[in-house]
Structures are given as structure tokens and as C-alpha cells.
Amino acid sequence: TVILLSPRSENILFGMGNPLLDISAVVDKDFLDKYGLKPNDQILAEDKHKALFDEIVKKNKVEYHAGGSTQNSVKIAQWMIQKPHKVATFFGCIGKDHFGEILKKKAAEAHVDAHYYEQNEEPTGTCAACITGDNRSLVANLAAANCYKKEKHLDLDSNWELVEKAKVYYIAGFFLTVSPESILKVAKHASDNNKVFCMNLSAPFISQFFKEPLMKVMPYVDILFGNETEAATFAKEQGFETDDITEIAKKTQNLPKENKKRQRVVVFTQGKDDTVATVGEKVTMFPVLDIDQNDIVDTNGAGDAFVGGFLSELVQERSLEECIRAGHYAANVIIRRVGCTFPEKPDFH
């Protein structure tokens, strides 16, 4: 019998980002107002949020989950694929502390091949997930995650070999605030070797305040993810002069691109509304799975789960339609649970 290299081989998917411990609690509007938070947003913590972290851990139903956008996505991809273990590699920076140990333990339990850069200048990063109804306001205190260093970790031969083993790369836009030079090194490697590099707009503030590093990486992006709010902000910042999401997808697809062998694919999710994706020269709408409002526990991690499901089919070289269907399935599972958590096995066919 001939054993072909399975598209499900170890380390075929590479992710790099901010490993954070999610501290999740249901809060009220007064809590949001007190810290000047929008009900549905993602921001970086400022000094005025320091007390928020002390206050949220005192809430009666606080939950701790391994988080960080990219890490969530590669974990979901691994969960969707199941076997072999260590399909996904993850790089990021943590502290030498209790929260760091939790993240290591959780990554191992999820069978993700995590290689953290560990330092003791800063503690492991945290993300406060303030839940109200089916909204979540995320406040990230990057701390250690912000200390990732290309020359101290990515450039080491033993680590770079893992990058070279991969065929699909995924980095959330959030990492642009930490190490754009690391992203560029990985993106160029993917482009030069005709591999697939994926990125996410991640949050409105990335398109607004990290426009320069974002647009430096854009020519290497084969697949770009985002949600409707991020797409609108990106369009505004780029001067697209349209708020039609199909137009925005088209214009984003047509931005300059290095590797001409792959046409860029743009995928915008819109919560319960259809997902918009560029398919060749046209833009297609893909309806999400129906869900009863009462079954939605919290939407934290829905976007990450969509990407994870998508990547799980992408590494197996399935069609865009299949990738999106898997993304919708994974997101549908995650919103029925607290945080970005999942049952033992997927039920996706």
C-alpha cells in the first residue's frame, strides 16, 4: 500500500498571536458605563481599566478560559480535525507565572503544538470578557503577549523549522500591535513558497490606528477575514467610499497582491446575517445556520470559531463553500457555550 502524505499532517497549520487568559463574567450596563465600554467591542486596556480586572474577578460567576484570538482559532481547527494531534502550531509570548501555566496546560489538552516564548518582565496577558445578553465587550491587557520578539523566538532554527513545515498560516490582525516584523517574515515565506497566508481585520482599531503595518502585510494576504463592523471601518480608512459590504469585499480583493498565482479571497461574517465571500470575480452570500435566540449563551469567540472551522477544511484542501460551511458549524457550536469552549467531539459531516 502507498501511504500518501495526508493533508492532515502534524504542524500543517501555523498560528501566531497573543495568548491571553480570558476572564469572563456577566455584567450589567452600569459596569460597562463605569469603564466607558461599548456593549460589543474589542479594545486594549488603558490605565482607567486597571480596576476593571480587579472588579471582574470578584463577580460571582467568573470563568477562566484559555483565549487569544489566533490561539482560539487554531484550537478550534484542531478540534474539528481531531486526529492527528498537533496539526496546529502556535507561537506567542507568556509570563513565567500561574496564568502562563494554565495556558500551557490548556493548549496541551487541546492538542495544539504551542511553543511559547516565556519571559519574566511581564505577567501573562489577560482579556476581560464583559458579557451582557448576547453582546461581549472585550478588554485585553496584553502584558506578556506584547513582549514577543522575532529575534528571540521566531528566528531560532528550531522554531523557524516549524514555520517551514506549515502549508497554511493564520495570524489575527491583533498581532500587528505586537510584532509586525514577525508577521512580515511569515507572510513573505508563505508568498515565496506559494503557501496560503490568512489574516483577520480583528477589530476596528486595527484598521484605524495600525493602518501602516496592516497595509504592509496586505499584499501577502491570500485570505482576509473580518466582520461587518471591521469591514466598514476598513473601507472608511481606505477611502473606498461605499458602505455596501459586497462592494467592500470586491475592492479589498483587488488591493495589490504579491503572489499572483492565488487570487485573494475576502470573507466577511455578519453575525446572524449571511457571510459574504469573494468567489473568483463574483461576491457570494452564504446563509448561517439558524439558531434560536434563547440558545445563544454568549457570542464571545464566534468569529474565532468561524475562522477555526474554515481553516480545518482549508488545510484539507476543500472548496471555499466547504470551508465556510465548517466555519458556520463551529461558530454555531461556540455561541451555545461560555467563552470559546467546545464539546468533546464535533458533529460535522
d(CA 322, CA 313): 7
User: Does residue 102 contact residue 21 with C-beta atoms inside 8 Å?
Assistant: yes
d(CA 310, CA 130): 27
DSSP state of 28: -
The residues, ordered by sequence, that sit 6+ positions from 45 with a Cβ below 8 Å of its Cβ are 52, 53, 128, 139, 140, 141, 142
d(CA 249, CA 242): 11
**Residue of 28, 134, 304, 347 marked catalytic:** 304
41-44 and 135-141 strand pairing? parallel
User: Does residue 85 contact residue 50 with C-beta atoms inside 8 Å?
Assistant: no
Cell numbers that stand for 259 in this block: 503572489
| Residues forming beta bridges with residue 140, ordered by sequence position | 44, 127
d(CA 337, CA 296): 8
Active site residue 298: no
Where in the sequence numbering do the catalytic residues fall?
304
